Structure 1
Amino acid sequence: MPSVRVPEKGAPAPKFKKPVKVKAKGLKRKRDEEELAELERRVAEFDLQATEFTELPLTKQTAAGLHQAHFKTLTDIQRKAIPLALKGRDVLGAAKTGSGKTLAFLIPVLEILYRKKWTTLDGLGALIISPTRELATQIFTVLRTIGGHHAFSAGLVIGGKSGKEERDALHKMNIVVCTPGRMLQHLDQTFGLNVDNVQLLVLDEADRILDMGFRATVDAIVANLPKSRQTLLFSATQTKNVADLARLSLKDAEYVAVHEAADAATPKGLEQFYMVVPLHEKLDTLFAFLRCHLAAKIIVFMTACKQVRFVHETFRQLHIGLPLLHLHGKQKQAARAEVARRFAAAKSGCLFATDVVARGLDFPAVDWVVQMDAPEDADTYIHRVGRTARFERAGRAVLFLAPSEEAPFVERLQAKRVPVARVNPKAAKKQSVQSQLQGLCFKDPEIKYLGQKAFVSYCRSVSVQKDKEVFKLEELPLEEYAASLGLPGAPRIRGVRGADAEKVKEMKNAPRGLKALENMPSGEEEEEEEEEEGGVRRAKKKEVRTKYDRMVERQNQNVLADHYKNLIVDDPTATAAPDNEDDDDFLTVKRTGYSSDSDLSTTSSTTTTTTTTKPKTIDLGGKDLTIASKRREKLMTSRKELAKLKPRGTKLVFDDDGNAHALYELQGLEAFRADGSAEEQRRAFVAVEGERVKVADVEDRRVAKEKRRERRERRRRREKEEEERARARAGSGESGGESGGESGGEGGGLLPYEAPPRVESEEEEEEEEEEERGAKRQRKWFEDEPEEERGRKGRGRVIEAAEEPETLEDLEALASGLLG
């Protein structure tokens, strides 16, 4: 066994040789560089031929994310677009809806930033722009799914969220998924946001982003980005406009259209139909369609947000038997996200939506897409029907077209290679809901308001459409359409040009002098006009048109106006003058006024006709109110309005005993002093209350006396019943009646004897009353304390001493006497 040398005390510690430290960081960095070089080599040598994700030159992190999300096979657009994007080329990708375009640009974003060794210190590296918040949220969800193994920081920048939190986090983001408006807001307002180093710009639904709606916003964003970036554009209907592409500074862009040579621009598993439905029958047809598909998952597209709200609210109250949701651009972001989540998780239901849902959103297992209103163009139609039959599944779509829209719109669909077949609605299944909608509008003013707004929004949307061959507002039956919504009349639409718009414009632009000459009557007409009707010739002077006449002729000044009653006198009970037989040619304007409550019956009316009717009166608590107009008569049907005219009552309050009395009010100091001093008023009040309490005490004693008498009667009855029971028990003894008689004697047996009732005298009743009362009666709150009580309280116990104590012994004796 080897010996161990122990160092002596105070000697220095022995020095050992340090081991060689392995430089792990350096080796890891070298290994990463080798992997990166190998990855670059694989990308450069890739021949664009792959069918699965495992064949692509991807990093281990991206491959792990794809495997975890169960993505295995490449789609057509992914197989052609991803290799080009990995090589750094600009790509314009066009493919059918539901073909996997999202992965076609997310995978290149992750791979290119990884190959460029991007970190959080390098700032923003990729910008992904989406036209809607819902689509941006969906893209961000997929990015987190497949990019969770990377070290990049990503963020979602859309409207409806806290701008401060986004500003604080934008400086740390490597990948940003955003909407155009919100991103431009941050470029203008967020201090220190640097986008000079952006490597990739991605536009999803590029045709929508580059059109007129986002033109100025996208131009402002692109102006801040470097020109040496890579640009990827994807959409189901890709733009080929040279001007649009030039704005993005594309460099040798590759146009990838995998389905351009296909027979149809829509998915193969999609069955498409259209119906010719008049405008005023669309709601009836939609209601019948939903009632026939209660177990299906349906999306119903409409033009305006107000239409979506009105149809959702009315169908919900009609209890259609199907879960109903609605989604449009006017909702709060939290509500929009919740509705999208609920509909995606539902197995059946109906979602009423605008075109905010038309692009890119993936709702699982949608059975039907119903377009109640015609889309603005064929491209929008393709995006709408793309919500069903996604990822090579089956689906069906139906389009409602007005008769004036059928021929031109079908031509546009055929030009886009959209196979659509005409079908007719089944008459047996048709069901009218017009009367039910009228009832809802009559009961609920808010539903009527929504209906008016829906009518106006639809008409305005039709009037601003570019394709005037399809959308012809003047050929639509607007009055019937308003009636189908449950409205009593078509609201006036401001800003919409009707059929006579040109004529009205010419009349407005004509000189005033010329219009005056055209409207000037002849000399004979100025004096009088003669009419002949029913063989009776009568003359009438030319009427002067007043502001009331013009007001009556106006209808629906705005969408909030009530539908006023016709003010023409057509009451069958009205007695007209003999020379005034044609009541329809004259308008009656009546007003009734009153100056105060005391003069309610005084009315003043101004009429423009000789028609006389007997005025109605209403009794208002002893006062009569004359009703001389239909407006006042309608107003008086309201209890609230009648309460305003009735005399005011006196406010009462209730005390603890439930008795009502007038409200107590504090009296002024001067008025209080005028009634006398406080002491005098107190004595007078005590005297009055004392008399009232004495009277009440007499009544209380009488009531108490009656109660005591009743108790005594009940006690006597109980004693009598006990005696009878005891006598009955004694009479049924063993000795029997005969033996008792034989024994004889004074003590033999019980005699049938009943003592007479005892009558108490008044003195006994008073004594019993004093005994029951027991303790001394308490003094009332207003009674003064008796002198003997006051003296007794003040004195306490009194001990009289013969002499005044002089010594200590005398004081002790006095104290012991006081202590007892």
Structure 2
Amino acid sequence: MSFQNLGLSAPILKAISKQGYTEPSPIQAKAIPPILDGNDVLASAQTGTGKTAGFTLPLLHHLSTTQGQGYKAVRALILTPTRELAAQVHANVKAYSEFLDVTSAVIFGGVNQNPQVKKLKAGVDVLIATPGRLIDLENQGLLSLRHVEIFVLDEADRMLDMGFLRDIERIMNLIPAKRQNLMFSATFSKDIKKLAFKILNDPIQVEATPENTAVEIIDQQVYRVAKTKKTGLIIKLISEGNWQQVLVFTRTKHGANRLTKKMVSAGITAAAIHGNKSQGARTKALDGFKKGRIRVLVATDIAARGLDIPLLPHVINFELPNISEDYVHRIGRTGRAGASGKAISLVSADETSFLRGIEKLIDQRIPVEIIEGFEPDPDASTEPIKPGQNRQGNQGRRKNSDSRNSGGGNSQKSKPRRNRNRNRNR
């Protein structure tokens, strides 16, 4: 099948061709036709399979071939959980609309709002936004969502995991009841699907790959190791393997900072990226990583959403996620667009249950290896660390703010702090 068979307009086909694409990916081939027909769509596909084009191409086709109801009105709203993903989606929208009379803008927190407001006042057809900044500008009367025709939730699983459901519901009350709804994500749990069906109207469900399965071409490896020896092992693997581009995942922001400092001390150029970093620092770190000035990028799950790094050869789980579906998303950062990749996990005793959950989810056993000098501690407890805690007790609970960002912790005391942390990630 070619893009010409999908019913997209000539200017869009021209833009696709300019980007070097000739055939739609499976998710694009399955999602674009029902979206063009005006249906609500619930789509699940692994990262790196072309989800963004799956909804932006038919969205742009609709906007360019129909007349809007409001002058300078936002006609399509794309909601994303993180700044990086919002910027990435906007870049794709601009590329695909190059030969169309369609305007677009992106808004997110962490930066001065004035340039964003200036673009909104000039008139925008497609608006890509994170929830916090969107609600903030609407509260100030600086934008209107009364003429939205298409509403898109990108990375919907993470949107809900991060506690954005109330924000989503609030935004839905600001847009017309009569609209087309699209929900795209790398993974969907059963609970999230139930919530999704409350948002979508009689949706068509499309899936490019079996749900929550790891990309087959990714070479997965587990190293059993004592918790205190993880840092030494990861430095050994990167240094002796001469790996030049490695994305490392930690469970918390403070853990990312600590590991980054130790890598730099060991002579490995590294940078951390997480919600406490300013947008300028995050952009600089990502740019340095892509251009090879930085060998290792240490990230939390939330900050890594939307990172588009072509041909990334190595992903390392310095700590396993306590949510199994996040493992699928993490390793999906490598092995993109048909390229090979290697995903390594350093697993200590207290992560044993996390590993079992991951293997059950992907329905396969991951090869295990033990490296001499970095053996696991035979006396260590296999009791898992609870979300929001670590072995350091209260101090660890205070530090584990990323767990709160993804929905952990329900006490009234923690709510104000959780909301402040979440706002920084928008």
Aligned to 1:335: 281
Determine if the alignment matches structure 1 residue 185 to structure 2 residue 136: yes
Please tell me whether the aligned partners of residues 220 and 366 of structure 2 are also in contact (alpha carbons under 8 angstroms): yes
* 1:131 alignment partner, one of 65, 78, 81: 81
| Mapping for residues 25-174 of structure 1, pairs under 5 Å | 51-118=1-68, 121-171=71-121, 172-174=123-125
Per-residue CA deviation, residues 178-201 of structure 1 (Å, 9 max, x unaligned), is: 11111111121234x321110001
SS of the residue corresponding to residue 405 of structure 1 reads: helix
In terms of Rg, which structure is larger? 1
Determine if the alignment matches structure 1 residue 176 to structure 2 residue 122: no
Q: Which amino acid aligns with 1:207?
A: D
Per-residue CA deviation, residues 596-653 of structure 1 (Å, 9 max, x unaligned), is: xxxxxxxxxxxxxxxxxxxxxxxxxxxxxxxxxxxxxxxxxxxxxxxxxxxxxxxxxx
Determine if the alignment matches structure 1 residue 375 to structure 2 residue 298: no
SS of the residue corresponding to residue 271 of structure 1 reads: strand
Per-residue CA deviation, residues 161-190 of structure 1 (Å, 9 max, x unaligned), is: 221232233241110011111111112123
Determine if the alignment matches structure 1 residue 421 to structure 2 residue 366: yes
Per-residue CA deviation, residues 231-264 of structure 1 (Å, 9 max, x unaligned), is: 111111125446512542x221001112127xx7
Aligned to 1:302: 250
Please tell me whether the aligned partners of residues 274 and 420 of structure 1 are also in contact (alpha carbons under 8 angstroms): no
* 1:272 alignment partner, one of 213, 220, 224: 220
Cα 1:292–1:419 shift into 2, 3 Å: farther
- Say which structure, 1 or 2, has more relative contact order (CA 8 Å, 6+ apart): 2
SS of the residue corresponding to residue 292 of structure 1 reads: helix
2:396 and 2:297 map into 1 onto residues whose CA distance is 28
Please tell me whether the aligned partners of residues 272 and 421 of structure 1 are also in contact (alpha carbons under 8 angstroms): yes
* 1:289 alignment partner, one of 227, 233, 237: 237
2:107 and 2:315 map into 1 onto residues whose CA distance is 30
2:106 and 2:67 map into 1 onto residues whose CA distance is 22
Please tell me whether the aligned partners of residues 69 and 147 of structure 2 are also in contact (alpha carbons under 8 angstroms): no
SS of the residue corresponding to residue 274 of structure 1 reads: strand
2:185 and 2:287 map into 1 onto residues whose CA distance is 24
Runs of 4+, deviation exceeding 4 Å:
490-496
2:293 and 2:339 map into 1 onto residues whose CA distance is 16
Cα 1:333–1:188 shift into 2, 3 Å: same
Aligned to 1:366: 312
1:141 Cα shift? 0.8
Aligned to 1:505: none
SS of the residue corresponding to residue 346 of structure 2 reads: strand
SS of the residue corresponding to residue 159 of structure 1 reads: coil
Relative to the length of structure 1, the TM-score reads: 0.45
| Mapping for residues 585-604 of structure 1, pairs under 5 Å | none
Please tell me whether the aligned partners of residues 365 and 388 of structure 1 are also in contact (alpha carbons under 8 angstroms): yes
2:234 and 2:398 map into 1 onto residues whose CA distance is 29
Q: Which amino acid aligns with 1:464?
A: P
1:285 Cα shift? 1.4
Relative to the length of structure 2, the TM-score reads: 0.85
SS of the residue corresponding to residue 121 of structure 1 reads: coil
Q: Which amino acid aligns with 1:343?
A: F
1:384 Cα shift? 0.6
1:120 and 1:148 map into 2 onto residues whose CA distance is 22
1:347 Cα shift? 8.2
Give identity over the alignment, percent. Answer: 27
Aligned to 1:355: 301
* 1:391 alignment partner, one of 330, 337, 348: 337
Q: Which amino acid aligns with 1:155?
A: A
2:346 and 2:203 map into 1 onto residues whose CA distance is 39
Q: Which amino acid aligns with 2:387?
A: V
Cα 1:283–1:185 shift into 2, 3 Å: same
1:68 Cα shift? 0.9
Structure 1 stretch displaced more, 378-387 or 349-358: 349-358
Determine if the alignment matches structure 1 residue 217 to structure 2 residue 162: no
Per-residue CA deviation, residues 120-163 of structure 1 (Å, 9 max, x unaligned), is: 82501000111111111111111111111111111010112221
1:424 Cα shift? 2.2
Per-residue CA deviation, residues 492-521 of structure 1 (Å, 9 max, x unaligned), is: 66779xxxxxxxxxxxxxxxxxxxxxxxxx
1:287 Cα shift? 1.7
1:282 Cα shift? 1.2
Please tell me whether the aligned partners of residues 235 and 266 of structure 2 are also in contact (alpha carbons under 8 angstroms): no
Q: Which amino acid aligns with 2:74?
A: L
* Number of residue pairs aligned between Structure 1 and Structure 2: 389
1:426 Cα shift? 2.3
1:345 and 1:120 map into 2 onto residues whose CA distance is 42
Please tell me whether the aligned partners of residues 97 and 266 of structure 1 are also in contact (alpha carbons under 8 angstroms): no
Please tell me whether the aligned partners of residues 159 and 179 of structure 1 are also in contact (alpha carbons under 8 angstroms): yes
Q: Which amino acid aligns with 1:375?
A: P
Please tell me whether the aligned partners of residues 90 and 254 of structure 1 are also in contact (alpha carbons under 8 angstroms): yes
1:357 Cα shift? 4.1
2:3 and 2:54 map into 1 onto residues whose CA distance is 11
1:398 and 1:237 map into 2 onto residues whose CA distance is 20
Q: Which amino acid aligns with 2:367?
A: R
1:405 Cα shift? 2.2
2:398 and 2:299 map into 1 onto residues whose CA distance is 25
SS of the residue corresponding to residue 48 of structure 2 reads: coil
2:294 and 2:139 map into 1 onto residues whose CA distance is 44
2:91 and 2:321 map into 1 onto residues whose CA distance is 29
Q: Which amino acid aligns with 2:364?
A: P
1:303 Cα shift? 1.4
Aligned to 1:464: 387
Determine if the alignment matches structure 1 residue 232 to structure 2 residue 232: no
Q: Which amino acid aligns with 1:163?
A: Q
2:359 and 2:128 map into 1 onto residues whose CA distance is 36
Per-residue CA deviation, residues 560-608 of structure 1 (Å, 9 max, x unaligned), is: xxxxxxxxxxxxxxxxxxxxxxxxxxxxxxxxxxxxxxxxxxxxxxxxx
Structure 1 unmatched runs, 5+ = 1-50, 432-460, 466-470, 479-489, 497-820
1:414 Cα shift? 2.8
Cα 1:350–1:153 shift into 2, 3 Å: same
1:143 and 1:287 map into 2 onto residues whose CA distance is 39
Q: RMSD over aligned Cα, in angstroms?
A: 2.5
Please tell me whether the aligned partners of residues 359 and 366 of structure 2 are also in contact (alpha carbons under 8 angstroms): no
2:396 and 2:208 map into 1 onto residues whose CA distance is 46
2:194 and 2:187 map into 1 onto residues whose CA distance is 17
SS of the residue corresponding to residue 203 of structure 1 reads: strand
1:298 and 1:495 map into 2 onto residues whose CA distance is 28
Cα 1:239–1:181 shift into 2, 3 Å: farther
Aligned to 2:422: none
SS of the residue corresponding to residue 338 of structure 1 reads: helix
Cα 1:420–1:340 shift into 2, 3 Å: farther
Q: Which amino acid aligns with 1:254?
A: I
Cα 1:426–1:212 shift into 2, 3 Å: closer
Aligned to 1:207: 157
